[in-house]
Amino acid sequence: MLTVSVKWQKEVFQKVEIDTSQPPFLFKCQLYDLTGVPPERQKIMLKGGLLKDDADWATVGVKEGQKLMMMGTADEIVKAPEKGPVFMEDLPEEEQVVSVGHTAGLFNLGNTCYMNSTIQCLHSVPELKSALVNYPSEKRNDLDQTSHMLTAATRELFNELDRSVKSVAPMQFWMVLRKKYPQFGQLHNGTFMQQDAEECWTQLLYTLSQSLRSPSENLDTTKELFGIELVSRIHCQESGEESSETESVYSLKCHISQEVNHLHEGLKHGLKSELEKASPSLGRSAVYLKESRINALPRYLTVQFVRFFWKRESNQKAKILRKVDYPLELDIYDFCSDDLRKKLEAPRQILRDEEGKKLGLKANEKNSGSKDNDVKMTDAEGSSNRRGESSNATSEESKCRGSSDKESQLTGIYDLVAVLTHKGRSADSGHYVAWVKQENGKWIEYDDDNPIPQREEDITKLSGGGDWHMAYICMYKARAIRM
């Protein structure tokens, strides 16, 4: 680490740190945070010319305490005349975010697309953002320092994304993530290596589950939002032994084979597995069949497509490119335990009745009652965001109610709200992108610092079968009804 001062216009920024193990583009991202001058507009004067984004610090010759000079203009919001039209660029940045209809992108800090795409997907969960807003700045005694720092950094990054129309450089978050989980700081030839987005997703959720838990209030926010309770029957055909176990996981696995063409088939495979363990009655190891069923549902159901596997002959991670279709609306009733199915019957019947009424009203053209029934259906569908303002209002209500509200019951039906894709042949290379449904119902592709509007019909085309982006993680939101 080097410490320098930077002069820009009439300001001097003291003690700016340079991580010499990283390319100068990262240093420019830091200066962007300080000055508002985008990296591409920055001209940093050095002996022999300007500092290039990919220069080698060892040959640049910057010394400890050196004073650098930067030129470049910051983004400014032009003030509108007292009278006349108001342009979006003239609005405060928070209002610009609302007008644009989506939040900011994230700069790639050097093979950090796996991290950026994970953040964009989780950032789309309003209940998680609400829990982080209430997270205290003071560290709790029952929590380690790095977990606290990562949770606080997640909160700050989410806030920054919400109030910015310009792309954000997630410097602080990335530094803390590497401190908490050193594997994300692996280097190859002086450059940070590409990492697995699913591992980043899992590790971040694990940290948040530790931080956002309140034993005194019997509250576990992360488990409520993402936790899936599985009950499993473990049976040995050879000895006849049988046992059961309950576990909580944060995602369902979609296993991919020659027989799997659709998510439903892959999930069915993922809930069955074989394991070898000691058999007390046989006095030796035996093969057991483990069959699992969902016993408790989350607000947000995460599905991972198991596309990567270890190829022994080449000693590297390989990718299954097979096309596996997934729906915009997922019904997981078939995968539930008998106890859970009984609990789902009443809310599912109400949902069916409301859908039937709506179809009947349209067929009979009874316009007088259509408004009331539209409202009921919006309530039934939770925040599936198909009805503009009414749907958004319901989304706000569901934020307040949370999954513990007894008046709100899950139906086992989920709507797709985010897809994390991978493009490339190997987990150690390629590119990750997030595709996120906004509160207004529109889809945005977050390709690092480049948010691009997309059509809903194009989202299900990310199912694989070639070298295009293919779904690696899908996140679905529960459709709830008021009882």
Query: DSSP states of 130-154 as a string?
Result: HHHHT--SSPPTTS-HHHHHHHHHH
Q: What token pair was written down for 124?
A: 């789309």
CB 223 within 8 A of CB 289: no
**Half-sphere exposure at residue 176, Cβ-oriented, CA atoms within 13 angstroms:** 20
- Comparing CA positions, the residue from 284, 288, 290, 250 lying closest to residue 270 is 290
Q: Which residues pair with 247 in a beta bridge?
A: 230
Residue listed under structure tokens 């940070």: 192
Q: Which one is catalytic: 113, 121, 200, 336? A: 113
Q: What is the dihedral of CA 445, 450, 453, 458, to 10 degrees?
A: -40
- Comparing CA positions, the residue from 198, 119, 120 lying closest to residue 472 is 198
Type of residue numbered 242: E
Is 431 labeled as catalytic in the residue annotation? yes
In which element (H, E) is residue 128 found?
Answer: helix 126-133
Q: Which residues pair with 461 in a beta bridge?
A: none
Q: Which one is catalytic: 235, 262, 269, 431? A: 431
Please state, in angstroms and as integers, the Cα–Cα distance from residue 169 to each residue in 108, 125, 156, 160, 235, following that order: 8, 21, 12, 10, 51
Contacts of 141 (CB under 8 A, 6+ apart): none
Is 264 labeled as catalytic in the residue annotation? no
In which element (H, E) is residue 208 found?
Answer: helix 197-211
CA Rg value for the chain: 25
For 173-325, strand residue ranges (E) read: 187-188, 191-192, 213-214, 219-220, 228-235, 242-249, 252-255, 272-279, 284-296, 300-306, 308-311, 316-319
Contacts of 154 (CB under 8 A, 6+ apart): 119, 132, 173, 204, 208
Type of residue numbered 89: E
Residues belonging to the active site: 113, 431
